Amino acid sequence: MTAHGTHVRVADIAKHYEGTEGPIRALEDVSFGVSEGEFVCLVGPSGCGKTTLFRIIAGLESATAGDVFLNDERVDSPTPDMGVVFQEYHLFPWRTVRGNVAFGLEKSDVAGEKRGERVDRLIELVGLEGFGDSYPKELSGGMKQRVAIARALAVDPDLLLMDEPFGAVDAQTREMLQTELLDIWRETKKTVLFVTHDVEEAVKLADRIVVMAKEPGRVREVVDVDMSRPRVRSDAEFGRYYERVLGLIRGERAV
Ligand code: ADP
Ligand code: MG
């Protein structure tokens, strides 16, 4: 818990790159907060700076201006307080599922015998029981991303930070993973910051949606999604949120 109740704070972030035709303003004046236990989606068109922002929040890249705080501490390098899941699987091909999930624990102070138990529990949590000894090449895309989620959760991070984690799997698998992620969120009570360009995905998952616009990359509006779960695409209320967020992305006035 923090004094302000804001778990993650993105404060006046700017990021400029040198382009051949002058500076690229990938991010300009980006500010928002995420409360403890909240599920926030960051949504916006391709090129609006989502991955850039994700990398800055993760401490993988520095900002041109502004700060990111986790529990009121400034983030300036990768920290085990964040579990990070990338769009591409980023698994170690030479390690088994168990070995991949255990990776994060190897530098931690979790004792040896406790580690095995914890790894097995995480593998069960993401629905991969029976696959602990398999290698990544033996798994489907969806299964690989489950391993990446289990690995990110291994060190019990304060924040689960994900960049289009289901972008590379087929539609049916994606829906299954979305439902499973919501179950995991409910069970672990983690704070989640989830990047996607998919409006439907954002409306299905988020408590709040930070809608971004591009050129320069910026926050257009933050939308509270006040709808019970599970959420069904065919519900009228779902449709209203969907149209509203899509309209914001297209640059229409708020409806
Ligand atoms: P998104 O993830 O929303 O698609 P990105 O964060 O990948 O957007 O990119 C935002 C903008 O910044 C784009 O115009 C992209 O070309 C530019 N950009 C991203 N990374 C670099 C880089 N390393 N060098 C120069 N320009 C970059
Ligand atoms: Mg991206």
pLDDT tens-digit map of 182-206 = 999 999 999 999 999 999 999 999 9
CA nearest 147: which of 98, 79, 87?
Answer: 98
Ramachandran region, residue 91 (left: φ > 0; alpha: ψ -120 to 50; beta: rest): beta
64 lines ligand 1 (CB under 6 A): no
User: So what's the pLDDT on residue 5?
Assistant: 57
Structure tokens at 185: 């969120």
Q: How far is the CA of 41 from the centre of ligand 2 (A)?
A: 13
Contact of 165 with 126, CB cutoff 8 Å: no
Mutate to test the pocket of ligand 1, among 15, 30, 42, 52 (most ligand atoms within 8 A of CB): 52
Please count the other Cβ atoms lying within 10 Å of the Cβ belonging to residue 142: 18
pLDDT tens-digit map of 209-219 = 999 999 999 99
* Beta-carbon contacts of residue 236 (< 8 Å; ≥ 6 apart): none
Strands laid side by side in the 22-35 sheet: 22-35, 6-19, 65-70, 73-74
Contact of 22 with 215, CB cutoff 8 Å: no
Average of per-residue pLDDT across 23-29: 96
- pTM value is 0.93
User: So what's the pLDDT on residue 200?
Assistant: 97
